[in-house]
Amino acid sequence: MKTYQHILVGVDFSPGSRAALHAAARIASPGKTPVTVMHVIDPKLAESMKEAHHWNDLDLFQHVDKTVVDFIADAGVPSDHLRIELDVGNAFQALIGARHRLDADLIVLGTRGSEHGPNDIGSVASKCMRKAPADVLLVREGMDGPFRHITACVDLSETSAKAVTAARNVAELDGAMLDCLLINQSVLALTMDYNGFAPPLTAVDPQGLAHWEHEMDGFLRPLMRTAPSTLTWNSFVKDRANVREGILEHMNLTKTDLVVLGTRGKTNLRTLLIGTTAEKVVTHAPCSMLTVKPDGFELPIEMQVETSGLQETKDEHESAFPPATVPMA
């Protein structure tokens, strides 16, 4: 089973980041993949803490480092292959800078931070899902154990093939049931969709459905050929007027606790799972989400410009405050 090469976990001491720690440790465990736990300190908070306690920069970083170590220990996460990095500044830019520096291929975050409501996706998590040049796992608060039911969204693109492979890997690791789901929009459905406000289709085209079931079978066969006999998986093709609503309907029906989808899909088929659909699913999904980036995905140019200055700042921090390594439990 393919494993990630380096996992980056963002923590802000919220219940969501606690769940993210558990998920990252579980995914890393089979191959002992290195995991970097990162906490980014808000600049205003950093200055207030230094002023209130009469600390210098080193005092501040030592205090925050101990807090992160205690947070990991309290979460009960094995720490033998974890390391800690701290930064001061913009959380998204710091995570992207660390992703490049570490060559991390998976970023794990809680779906919301300490400042968000129970149904919100945090702004940092949302930005990473859309812009980070790595796969991004967003973990719901309270999801401290293995996933039990995983839904992989398919549109027959290369990116959704990667999503199915990633979903299969997690399903094998956690012993979860795996559903591979394709939502078909007929030509009529596309003309009736009205940006998601049309009611679900009440009639199904048997010939069209049979065609896409055949396409789905050919798509999945090579991806699942080597699946172990212990893996329970199913294939579903459904006609719906709205892709997002079709995915969410299936998730609610099956009590999916992890949905896996590509952030970019084909746009020349009647079965669409485009970038905006992925973002809508993530925004409304009641479960954890793994978003898979296409091959060759690059950070938008404007973000490359923003992170170039961050790297210099981070290098200065590292010279005075080298990343702490969490001792073996």
137: its two tokens: 């796992």
Q: Which residue has the tokens 């999801």?
A: 143
CATH superfamily for domain 149-292: HUPs (3.40.50.620)
312/256 Cα distance (integer angstroms): 42
Q: Read off the pLDDT of residues 126-136 as tens digits, 9 standing for 90 and up.
A: 888 888 889 99
Q: In 3D, which of 147, 189, 144 has the Cα closest to residue 172?
A: 147
276/265 Cα distance (integer angstroms): 10
Share of the chain above pLDDT 90, in %: 52
pLDDT > 70? residue 276:
no
Q: Where are the domains of the chain?
A: 7-133+298-320, 149-292
Q: Read off the pLDDT of residues 30-58 as tens digits, 9 standing for 90 and up.
A: 778 899 999 999 999 999 999 999 999 99
268/265 Cα distance (integer angstroms): 9
pLDDT of amino acid 329: 38
The domain made up of 7-133+298-320 has a fold known as: Rossmann fold (3.40.50)
SS3 for 31-72 is: CCCCEEEEEEECHHHHHHHHHHHCCCHHHHHHHHHHHHHHHH
200: its two tokens: 């679900």
pLDDT of amino acid 56: 94
pLDDT of amino acid 11: 95
Same fold across 7-133+298-320 and 149-292: yes
Tell me the residue ranges of DSSP E strands in the chain: 7-10, 35-41, 82-88, 106-110, 135-139, 149-154, 177-184, 233-239, 258-262, 288-292
H or E segment and range at residue 160: helix 158-174
Four-residue CA torsion sign, 310, 3, 232, 224: positive
45/115 Cα distance (integer angstroms): 14
